[in-house]
Amino acid sequence: MITVFVPRDSAAVSVGADEVAAAIQREAGDAVRVVRNGSRGMLWLEPLVEVVTERGRIGYGPVSPAAVPGLIEAGMLAGADHELCHGVVDELPWMAEQQRLCFARVGVIDPLSTDDYEAHGGLRGLRTALERDPAAVVAEVTESGLRGRGGAGFPAGIKWKTVLDAQGPLKFVCCNADEGDSGTFADRMLMEGDPFCLIEGMTIAAHAVGASEGYIYIRSEYPDAVSTMRRAIDIAYAHGWLGENILGSDTSFDLFVRVGAGAYICGEETSMLESLEGKRGMVRSKPPIPAITGLFGKPTVVNNVLTLASVPAILADGGSAYAELGVDRSRGTQVFQLAGNIARGGVFETAFGITLGELVDGYGGGTRSGRPVRAVQVGGPLGSYVPAGQFGLPMDYEAFAEAEAMLGHGGIVVFDDTVDMAAMARFAMEFCAEESCGKCTPCRVGAVRGVEVIDKITGGDDRDGNLALLNDLCELMTDGSLCAMGGLTPNPVRSALNHFPDDFSSGAATQKEAT
Amino acid sequence: MAVESAGASVAERVRAVVEAHRDERGALLPILHGIQAEFGYIDPEVVPILAAELNLSRADVHGVVTFYSDFRSEPAGAATVRLCRAEACQSVGAEKLVADAEQVFGVKLGQTTPDGSVTLQQVFCLGNCALGPAAQINGRMYGRLDRTRLVEILAKGAEA
């Protein structure tokens, strides 16, 4: 029996993986076992078909359903050479040069196979954690230097310690899987490709802080991640990985999936908590912090998917091993996501410190359109635009902050030289106006005024006066907003203005169209 | 049409959805998803029923329904096309795809075609940012879309 892997990841499915899997099964019949794995993260090769051979897993991609009969005739099932053949997938530079901790199993295993999970190192972290005192588990996470991967980069160990020290019979662990930032998709890929890893990470967190109940808040735009996580949770209960006395220990933990309803703001932690309570996703003022007064007023750990999914490896191999990777105060690995107008887009997990240029020009291969890169937006819709001239920047939280940019969740969106940066600045304000929760005035009203004032600038209406007004407005939004939505929207606006002022002169867009 | 009996059955169906989630903490969102799955939309007339069942004010329920863009107050078309307009898809031509789709279907974003076949919506990010422009059509994700492929997918869906 030959084993063939065809991803079930929704990005692979979006370009025909289901049809390819069906075609292979139809053409090869009982001779093959088709396993639907997660994606390896080389999204430009999707659908990437892998055939298990003595040499290793041989990859073919991108495979269209129509190409399947020809590939099988050419000997794909024996790993034969072909113009779509890339050789042994693990030996490709893209794969071999990564340091995959979080994503170690994604694309490798059948996401819902507990045997696969354990055979590839799963549960080692949880078993280690359950043998230790909660405080020792928190200390291990603190030693690792792990910082929140959702964007803010707050040290996870300190957050956990606060919840551990908070008194109360009921505590929660909440996973923020409301991955709304454009250019980020690693949370989705992990949930679809290795859901047990997130369950394991959350269970370790529950043991560490004394929580008995957990929620994974997944955005409704990710229906495949929702169904995979729900199935994985059912399987985990059946295996004693969740519920009462987990793996024979004293720890009990119940885990639930909750689905968002199309509100970007619910990626902000307090808004997510409101939403989990069944309310409008209105941002709360901080303090009190969620670690002390969180979900339903109880002490609550709120962490991003990748933060929690990094925890099993930290417990399995030790916090110091994790801390050896990375630079300065950015320890361990980050899952970078190459997106937008890029030749080779996907997920690249490596230690902090790699430069922006190595990722975009090197691994990413520049733009998909073949035109020069003009700007990249790092860290989602609230992140700054960085010009190609700053590609020497190392990917770490502090270096980016110093350059008035933001690493965020590690998403990098590439634009070629046809981009109109004034239009992108206007879109940032438009997006903020659309998605603001409306609680604070700088964000709710400021974003609407921002769109208007940018229109006046590009329309040539008192340009200098309106530029001054825009700067004023940005300063007010930064200083006066309740949360990052209004507070960081000026990032893309100001960076576009600083690096690409010519785009804001009247008639710039029409001139661009003419060229 | 027997308005009263139809009304009673709506209330029964609403209560059944509520019962299925009664033991969950902060159950309003799961209930609203359940109502929309049951009826295809959230009719304003179910708001008072939900309020009574959950011991909330009508204003509270109405406020939650209207906060979230997923909840619709009227039925959608046979096919729902959600086009991604976020930055990553914009960098590979999402705005042009939106213009094309509006032209092909003859409606603007947020509208349903007069024959009820297609509802066109915008969405900000589907998590398919390396294979844009992306769209979600009846819950399934599609990547590397252009006008031709979009029309093809919908034509195939209509046959099935």
For CA atoms A367, A371, A373, A374, give the dihedral sign.
negative
**C-alpha triplet A360, A366, A372: angle, nearest 5°:** 120
How much is the pLDDT for A505?
A: 87
Across the interface, whether the CB atoms of B127 and A280 are under 8 A apart is answered: no
B90 is in an annotated binding site: no
Instruction: Give the SS3 label for residue B119.
Output: strand
On whether residue A346 sits in a domain, the answer given is yes
Kindly report the CATH number assigned to the domain that includes residue A507: 1.20.1440.230
Closest CA to B84 of B19, B28, B131: B131
Q: What is the pTM of this model?
A: 0.96
Chain A: closest CA distance from residue B32 (Å): 9
Tens digit of each residue's pLDDT (9 = 90 or more) over B82-103: 999 999 999 999 999 999 999 9
B125 is in an annotated binding site: yes
On whether residue A357 sits in a domain, the answer given is yes
On whether residue A171 sits in a domain, the answer given is yes
A174 and A260 co-located in one domain:
yes
A66 and A21 co-located in one domain:
yes
Across the interface, whether the CB atoms of B25 and A296 are under 8 A apart is answered: yes
B105 compared with B160, residue with greater pLDDT: B105
A318 and A331 co-located in one domain:
no
How much is the pLDDT for B1?
A: 40
CA distance A315 to A203: 12
A173 and A200 co-located in one domain:
yes
Tens digit of each residue's pLDDT (9 = 90 or more) over B20-71: 999 999 999 999 999 999 999 999 999 999 999 999 999 999 999 999 999 9
- CB-count burial class (<10 Å; 0-12, 13-18, 19+) for A69: middle
Across the interface, whether the CB atoms of B87 and A377 are under 8 A apart is answered: yes
pLDDT at B7 over 70: no
Phi, psi of A124 (to 5 degrees): -60, -45
Chain A: closest CA distance from residue B24 (Å): 10
How much is the pLDDT for A329?
A: 87
Residues in B closer than 8 angstroms to A280, CB to CB, are 63-64, 67
Kindly report the CATH number assigned to the domain that includes residue A407: 3.10.20.600
Q: Which domain holds residue A396?
A: 326-416
Phi, psi of A223 (to 5 degrees): -60, -35
C-alpha dihedral (A387, A390, A392, A398), degrees to nearest 10: -110
A483 and A435 co-located in one domain:
yes
A274 compared with B3, residue with greater pLDDT: A274
Across the interface, whether the CB atoms of A278 and B28 are under 8 A apart is answered: yes
Across the interface, whether the CB atoms of A11 and B29 are under 8 A apart is answered: no
Residues in A closer than 8 angstroms to B136, CB to CB, are 221
**Taking chain A, what is the end-to-end CA distance rounded to the nearest angstrom?**
58
**Hey, is the C-beta of A276 within 8 angstroms of any chain B C-beta?**
yes
Closest CA to A327 of A353, A307, A301, A345: A353
Kindly report the CATH number assigned to the domain that includes residue A78: 3.40.30.10
CA distance A410 to A412: 6
Contact B127, A337 (CB under 8 A): no
Classify residue A267 by its DSSP letter.
Answer: G
Tens digit of each residue's pLDDT (9 = 90 or more) over A129-162: 999 999 999 999 999 999 999 888 899 999 999 9
Query: Confidence band (pLDDT; 50, 70, 90) for B2?
Result: very low
Chain A: closest CA distance from residue B125 (Å): 5
pLDDT at B5 over 60: no
On whether residue A71 sits in a domain, the answer given is yes
Based on the structure, what is the number of domains in chain A?
Answer: 4
- What DSSP line would sit under A74-141, residue for residue? TTGGGT---TTEEEEGGGSHHHHT---STTSSTTTS-TT-HHHHHHTTTTHHHHHHHTS-HHHHHHHH
A residues 28-47 lying closer than 8 A (beta carbon) to B: 43-44, 46
A359 and A313 co-located in one domain:
no
A412 and A501 co-located in one domain:
no
A205 and A269 co-located in one domain:
yes
ipTM value > 0.90: yes
Tens digit of each residue's pLDDT (9 = 90 or more) over B115-145: 999 999 999 999 999 999 999 999 999 999 9
On whether residue A101 sits in a domain, the answer given is no
Chain A: closest CA distance from residue B22 (Å): 12
- Compute CA A459 distance to the chain's CA centroid, rounded to the nearest angstrom: 37
A136 and A270 co-located in one domain:
yes
Query: Confidence band (pLDDT; 50, 70, 90) for B157?
Result: confident
Contacts of B152 (CB under 8 A, 6+ apart): none
CA distance readout (Å), B152 to A14, A65, A254, B142, B156: 14, 16, 44, 12, 6
- What one-letter code names the amino acid at A108? V
Residues in A closer than 8 angstroms to B125, CB to CB, are 179-182, 184, 221
On whether residue A108 sits in a domain, the answer given is no
Pick among B66, B128, B138, B145 to test the A interface (most A CBs inside 10 A) = B128
Look at residues A323, A341, A367 and tell me which one is the last residue of a structural domain: A323
A282 and A339 co-located in one domain:
no
On whether residue A102 sits in a domain, the answer given is no
**Taking chain B, what is the end-to-end CA distance rounded to the nearest angstrom?**
32
**Hey, is the C-beta of A414 within 8 angstroms of any chain B C-beta?**
yes
Chain B: closest CA distance from residue A104 (Å): 20
Sketch out chain B's domains with CATH numbers: 10-67 (no CATH), 79-158 (3.40.30.10)
pLDDT at B158 over 90: no
Kindly report the CATH number assigned to the domain that includes residue A184: 3.40.50.11540
On whether residue A262 sits in a domain, the answer given is yes
A342 and A223 co-located in one domain:
no
How much is the pLDDT for B3?
A: 44
- What one-letter code names the amino acid at B51? A
Residue of chain A nearest B71, judged by CA positions:
A261
- What one-letter code names the amino acid at A201? G
Look at residues A51, A70, A96 and tell me which one is the last residue of a structural domain: A96
B84 is in an annotated binding site: yes
User: Over its length of 515 residues, how does chain A's per-residue pLDDT go in tens digits?
Assistant: 999 999 999 999 999 999 999 999 999 999 899 999 999 999 999 999 999 999 999 999 999 999 999 999 999 999 999 999 999 999 999 999 999 999 999 999 999 999 999 999 999 999 999 999 999 999 999 999 999 998 888 999 999 999 999 999 999 999 999 999 999 999 999 999 999 999 999 999 999 999 999 999 999 999 999 999 999 999 999 999 999 999 999 999 999 999 999 999 999 999 999 999 999 999 999 999 999 999 999 999 999 999 999 999 999 999 999 999 988 889 999 999 999 999 999 999 999 999 999 999 999 999 999 999 999 999 999 999 999 999 999 999 999 999 999 999 999 999 999 999 999 999 999 999 999 999 999 999 999 999 999 999 999 999 999 999 999 999 999 999 999 999 999 999 999 999 999 999 876 655 555 55
Look at residues A416, A431, A460 and tell me which one is the last residue of a structural domain: A416
Tokens 């996870």 -> residue: A156
What is the pairing mode between strands A56-60 and A49-53?
antiparallel
Three-state secondary structure string covering B45-99: CHHHHHHHHHCCCHHHHHHHHHHCCCCCCCCCCCEEEEEECCHHHHCCCHHHHHH
Residues in B closer than 8 angstroms to A340, CB to CB, are 87-88, 91-92, 129-130, 132
Residue of chain A nearest B140, judged by CA positions:
A14
Across the interface, whether the CB atoms of A277 and B24 are under 8 A apart is answered: no
CA distance A482 to A476: 11
pLDDT at B74 over 50: yes
A308 and A395 co-located in one domain:
no
Q: Which of A14, A424, A427 sits opposite B142 (nearest CB)?
A: A14
B26 is in an annotated binding site: no
**C-alpha triplet A423, A429, A430: angle, nearest 5°:** 80
Residues in A closer than 8 angstroms to B27, CB to CB, are 278
